[in-house]
Amino acid sequence: MIVGERIMEVTGNKKSMENISGLNINITLEDVQQAKDGNLELTYIYMATYEKDVGNLKIKGVILAKEDDKLTKEIIDAWKKNKRVVDSYAETVLGAVNYSGSANGTLVARVLGLTAPLIPPRIQMSPKK
């Protein structure tokens, strides 16, 4: 369960007044570790690049999560082994980073005169009953 977040760095720039023709979002996990309080700390970079080299936003932060001991160990071990979180947990982390990046990035984009870096939520269909 995600229990918090810390934003550590925010940068952005607007390079030209050209019309934006697209938006690319890149989310990178830089580190995963267990804090002294037992929480997971997942350090990420959220990068929004506006096409035609119009500008970009970068947000570096830490997602804090409290999981049971078994899942925490599984996540830490997977990270140490291949620098990935387990697939069953990746959706949770990416969703949290995307939400935070969109929300906080909107404020930065507004100041720079860029459009908000909003990505539509993932739509899932439930089985027919």
- Walk me through the domains of the chain, giving residue ranges and CATH numbers: 2-112 (3.10.420)
Q: Which residues contact 118 (CB under 8 A, 6 or more apart)?
A: 102, 106
The pTM for the full model equals 0.85
pLDDT of 45: 97
Strands (E), 15-54: 23-34, 40-50
pLDDT of 30: 96
**Residue 52 phi/psi, 5° resolution?**
70, 25
pLDDT of 125: 44
Q: Write out the chain's pLDDT in tens, 129 residues.
A: 999 999 999 999 999 888 888 888 899 999 999 988 889 999 999 999 999 889 999 999 999 999 999 999 999 999 999 999 998 898 889 889 999 999 999 999 999 999 899 876 554 445 666
**Interior angle at CA 27, CA 23 and CA 32, nearest 5:** 170
pLDDT of 124: 47
CB-CB contact of 12 with 59 (8 Å): no
Start-to-end CA span in the chain (Å):
29
